[in-house]
Amino acid sequence: MFVATNLDDIVVLTVLFAVAARGTSQLRGWQIVAGQYLGLITLIAVSFLAALGLTIVPDEWVGLLGLIPLAIGVLGLVRTLRGKDDDDEAESALKAVGLLGVAGITIANGGDNIAIYTPVFRTMSTTDALVTIAVFLVLLAGWCLLARAIGTNEKVTEALEKVEHWLVPVVFIGLGVFILIESGTLGHIASLL
C-alpha cells in the first residue's frame, strides 16, 4: 500500500535530491526528508480522522471507498494510453524551496494516499493502524534513501518516469479491487441481488 501510493513521490523525491546535489538551489537533503515526513504524517492524520468519521457507516459499505482508487487507476490508465501524461509534479518539485515546500508538494500529491488509506484504516483495529503507520514511517526512510541514491543517475530517473505512468494506475486498480473484495462489499452486494 505504501509503495503504491508513493510511487509517484519517488520521481519527485529523485528530482529534488538531484537539484539539491547539484547545488543550484538552496534546497538541502535534510529539508527534503523532513518535508516528506511532514507531508506524509499530515496525509496519514487526515486519512485516520476520515476513517474515524466513517464509523457510522456499516462495514459492508465502507468497501465502496475502494471505488476511489479504482477510478483513479482507470482514469490514469486511460490518460496514459491516450498519451496525455504530464510532469506537473516534477515541475512543481523543482520550484520548491525548503522543508515546507517539500511538505506542500507531498500533500498536494497525496490525494491517492487519502483515498486509499482512509478505507484501509476504517477496516483495521487501532493497534493494526498504529503498526501500519509505524511501518509507513520506516518505509519512508528507505524511500528517501532510494531517491537520494538514484537522484543523480539520469538513466534511472528516465526509466522510472516511463514506468510510473502505467505502473501507478495498474497498482491503484489492484488496490481498489482488493478493498472491494476484502471489505466484503462485493459479497454483500451479491447477496442483495
Residues 84-133: tens digit of each pLDDT:
555 444 444 444 457 887 887 787 777 778 888 888 888 888 899 899 99
**One-letter-per-residue 3-state SS of 101-148:** HHHHHHHHCCHHHHHHHHHHHHHCCHHHHHHHHHHHHHHHHHHHHHHH
Q: How many CB atoms lie within 10 A of CB 179?
A: 27
- CA dist 67 and 28 (Å) reads 39
- CA dist 64 and 177 (Å) reads 10
C-alpha cell at 31: 529539508
Per-residue pLDDT at 89: 44
**Mean pLDDT in residue range 26-49:** 89
- CA dist 33 and 148 (Å) reads 10
Instruction: Locate all alpha helices (DSSP H) within the chain, ordered by sequence.
Output: 2-22, 29-53, 59-62, 67-81, 88-95, 98-108, 111-123, 126-150, 154-182, 185-192
Measuring CA to CA, which residue among 25, 138, 12, 151 is closest to residue 87?
A: 12
Residue type, 53: G
User: Pick the residue with more confidence: 20 or 32?
Assistant: 32
Could you tell me the sign of the dihedral formed by the alpha carbons of 133, 135, 137, 139, in that order?
Answer: negative
pTM of the model: 0.65
C-alpha cell at 111: 490525494
CA angle 28, 32, 35 (to 5 degrees): 130
Radius of gyration for the alpha carbons in the chain, expressed in angstroms and rounded = 18
Confidence band, pLDDT 50/70/90 cuts, at residue 137: very high
